[in-house]
Amino acid sequence: MTFKRVLVAYGSKHGATAGIAEEIGRTLRDDGVEAVVLPAGDITDVSSYDGVVLGGALYAGRWNGQARRCVRRNAEQLSRRPVWLFSSGPVDSSAEQYDIPPVLGVARSMERLGAREHMTFGGAMTAKTPGLVARSLVRHGKGGDFRNSAQIQAWAHHIADDLEAGPETAR
């Protein structure tokens, strides 16, 4: 088996997306991939990675700003290697029930980078989530943790398989 090094980067405001990224990183490592998990805001160079998984939280129909800027900053290098994007996420079970397409900005990033795939995972907004809006929504019964470990792990296994298969399965 070829040894692959993958970056899992995340743009997260309150930690839910970071948790998904950590789960993806753990699963990739279980599959023998060297996975490094870092905040998207810290990423200035991806040239040492064989592939990149980049995720962002959704706020008012837009991807987290750190994830967006990570794409802009690293676009050239990202477009030369396999990239997978993910979003988090609906605070209900919709992401477990059907494929939710990327929001427009993320769809454009996919095109710009030639990303292999996008996945929307359920998100989390709980009593611990800071912010007036979140607190009010949770108080009105609109919160919960809808991150599904089995779904996240299945996607990460699929990425590990895809990496292992090599460039012939690329776009």
Ligand X SMILES: Cc1cc2nc3c(=O)[nH]c(=O)nc-3n(C[C@H](O)[C@H](O)[C@H](O)COP(=O)(O)O)c2cc1C
Site for ligand X, rule CB under 6 A: 12-18, 57-61, 88-91, 123-125, 131, 133-134
User: Minimum CB separation from ligand X for residue 150, in Å?
Assistant: 17
Sign of the CA dihedral 52, 53, 59, 61? positive
* Nearest-CB residue for ligand X: 123
Bridge partners of 115?
Answer: none
Distance from C-alpha of 169 to C-alpha of 164, rounded to nearest angstrom: 10
Distance from C-alpha of 68 to C-alpha of 84, rounded to nearest angstrom: 14
DSSP state of 3: -
Contact 126, 93 (CB under 8 A): no
Cβ distance to ligand X smaller for residue 34 or 126: 126
User: Minimum CB separation from ligand X for residue 62, in Å?
Assistant: 7
CB atoms closer than 10 angstroms to residue 163: 23
User: Minimum CB separation from ligand X for residue 163, in Å?
Assistant: 25
Cβ distance to ligand X smaller for residue 119 or 134: 134
Cβ distance to ligand X smaller for residue 91 or 119: 91
User: Minimum CB separation from ligand X for residue 71, in Å?
Assistant: 17
Cβ distance to ligand X smaller for residue 77 or 88: 88
